């Protein structure tokens, strides 16, 4: 055999071997799918005529339907860019015939579904002209079927007829009467008056059904009748209105004259506590439902502010919402950047869940805003990049300490939060 032939044979074997090495075959998967009734980012809540409860689950990019007693029934929509899919559903309203209207802030659309949850068209799509929307964040329907939309980034309110045709609008950007800076929540009382949360001006504005200003209340601050980040609003049968304070973590009540009647709630995860409360709605019996956004649930209260029930359950261990990055340590343990759950999940080399840490936050200290990449150095230290535009370092000793206390999640998170920031 000549040297030339020998080289050709070696080259052939190398090419063949490299091709064999490049073939990959599915072996196993890590993670469990989201189940009906699990909520991630409770944005808003609404009811149909039968008392069924609908929750806009922003981070899960769908609407969850529950029975009047809170039993999960079905899921409407899914994440995606096709018609009838969501990117960030933030507001929901249901008309007398059961049609469901959902505002998607990121896609700048208001979608319509029939009473079976089937997509049936758009009420509005992106733009700045009549009947167009930009970042819609609130929907309300009056007794005649007229539909009102908080067109947030266009700084106006738009009114549509029950047929879906554009009717009228009011508002421009500013601080004057009938002006808004990013209007958010919107509600209609029993006689058709329209209440708007004017977020950027820290006030509530009341209009007639056609946009004539009747009154306005509030200013920036932490006192009674003041607001720091008002978001959701609902009006009860007596004309009292309630406003969610998203960053102050409580609900304020006002009488029909706009006078403060007190507040309830505080920051936390227990009953009667909130973590970014948003949408509010009353059922036919006068119970108030609060979309407790970052706690991934809806809380039900009596008219006396007494906690009554919780609707929905959060995503659990081994469930991902937009897994963004993955890496392995020297022992083969697997770390997953669980983007929209704002956490890191850790599995052993066999894919068995070990622990998780994080949670939503913008200030670091072990909290994340959509972690999207993760790496581990030779010392076992973990580095995480997230949407807050910074990198957090978690020392390997912290990881070991978490494993030592595996199963005591609260203690693990406390230890992590105290020692996680990298120098």
Taking only the tens place, the pLDDT of each residue in 183-223 is 999 999 999 999 999 999 999 999 999 999 999 999 999 99
Residues of the chain with pLDDT under 50: 17, 19-20, 22, 398-423
User: Which residues, including other chains, have CB under 8 Å from residue 97's CB and lie 6 or more apart?
Assistant: 115
Quick one: DSSP state of residue 283?
A: -
Half-sphere exposure of 53 (CA within 13 A, CB side): 32
Tokens 């969610």, residue located: 244
| Lookup: tokens for 400 | 């070991």
Strands in 373-376's sheet, in edge-to-edge order, are 373-376, 382-385, 391-394
Q: How many whole angstroms from its chain centre is CA 398?
A: 30
In the chain, the N- to C-terminal Cα span, in Å, equals: 63
Q: Which pLDDT does position 154 carry in this prediction? A: 98
CB atoms within 10 A of CB 169: 18
CB 20 within 8 A of CB 12: no
Residue-wise burial string across 43-76, b where 16 or more C-beta atoms lie within 10 A, e elsewhere: bbbbbbeeebbbbbbbbbbbbbbbeeeeebeebb
362, 358, 360: which is closest to 336 by C-alpha?
358
200: three-class secondary structure by DSSP: helix
Q: Which pLDDT does position 363 carry in this prediction? A: 72
Residue-wise burial string across 196-211, b where 16 or more C-beta atoms lie within 10 A, e elsewhere: bbbbbbbbbbbbebeb
195: three-class secondary structure by DSSP: strand
Q: Which pLDDT does position 315 carry in this prediction? A: 76
Q: Which pLDDT does position 108 carry in this prediction? A: 97
The backbone region for 335, taken as left when phi is positive above 0, alpha when psi lies in -120 to 50, beta otherwise, is beta
In a 10 Å sphere around its CB, with 0-12 CB exposed, 13-18 middle and 19+ buried, how is residue 25 labelled?
exposed
Residue-wise burial string across 294-319, b where 16 or more C-beta atoms lie within 10 A, e elsewhere: bbbbbbbbeeeeebeeebbeebeebb
Strands annotated E in 51-153: 53-57, 62-66, 72-76, 89-94, 100-104, 109-113, 119-126, 132-133, 136-141, 147-151
Half-sphere exposure of 403 (CA within 13 A, CB side): 11
Q: Give the global pTM.
A: 0.78
CA pair distance 187, 194, nearest whole angstrom? 6
| Lookup: tokens for 270 | 């227990």
Half-sphere exposure of 178 (CA within 13 A, CB side): 11
Quick one: DSSP state of residue 363?
A: S
CB atoms within 10 A of CB 393: 14
Q: Output the CA torsion sign for 385, 390, 395, 399.
A: negative
Q: Which pLDDT does position 272 carry in this prediction? A: 93
Q: Which pLDDT does position 421 carry in this prediction? A: 36
């Amino acid at each position: 055999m000549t040297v030339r032939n020998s080289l050709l044979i070696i080259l052939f074997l190398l090419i063949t071997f490299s091709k064999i090495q490049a073939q990959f075959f599915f072996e196993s998967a890590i993670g469990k799918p989201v189940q009906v009734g699990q909520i991630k980012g409770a944005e808003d809540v609404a009811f149909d005529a039968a008392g069924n409860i609908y929750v806009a689950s922003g981070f899960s990019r769908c609407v969850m339907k529950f029975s009047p007693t809170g039993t999960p029934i079905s899921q409407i929509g899914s994440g995606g860019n096709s018609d009838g899919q969501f990117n960030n559903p933030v507001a929901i309203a249901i008309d007398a015939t059961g049609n469901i209207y959902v505002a998607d802030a990121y896609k700048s659309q208001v979608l319509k579904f029939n009473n079976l949850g089937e997509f049936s068209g758009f009420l509005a799509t992106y733009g700045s002209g009549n009947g167009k929307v930009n970042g819609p964040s609130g929907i309300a329907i009056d007794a005649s079927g007229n539909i009102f939309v908080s067109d947030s980034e266009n700084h106006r309110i738009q009114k549509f007829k029950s047929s879906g045709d554009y009717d009228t609008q009011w508002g421009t950007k500013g601080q004057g009467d009938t002006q808004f800076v990013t209007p958010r929540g919107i509600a209609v009382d029993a006689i058709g008056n329209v209440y708007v949360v004017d977020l950027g001006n820290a006030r509530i504005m009341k209009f007639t059904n056609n946009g004539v200003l009747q009154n306005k209340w509030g200013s920036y601050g932490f006192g009674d009748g003041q607001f720091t980040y008002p978001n959701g609003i609902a009006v009860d049968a007596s004309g009292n209105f309630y406003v969610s304070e998203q960053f102050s973590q409580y609900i304020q009540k006002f009488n029909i004259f706009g006078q403060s009647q007190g507040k309830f709630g505080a920051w936390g995860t227990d009953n009667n506590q909130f973590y970014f409360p948003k949408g509010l709605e009353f059922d036919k019996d006068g119970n108030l439902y609060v979309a407790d956004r970052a706690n991934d649930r809806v809380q039900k209260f009596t008219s006396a502010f007494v906690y009554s029930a919780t609707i929905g359950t959060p995503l659990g261990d081994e469930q991902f919402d937009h897994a963004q990055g993955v890496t392995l340590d020297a022992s083969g343990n697997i770390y997953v950047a669980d983007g929209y759950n704002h956490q890191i999940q850790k599995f052993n080399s066999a894919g068995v869940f070990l622990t998780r840490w994080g949670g939503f936050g913008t200030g670091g200290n072990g909290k994340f805003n959509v972690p999207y990449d993760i790496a581990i150095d030779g010392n076992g230290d973990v580095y995480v990049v997230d949407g807050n535009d910074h990198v957090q370092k978690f020392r390997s000793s912290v990881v070991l300490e978490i494993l030592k206390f595996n199963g005591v999640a609260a203690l693990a998170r406390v230890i992590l939060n105290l020692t996680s920031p990298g120098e």
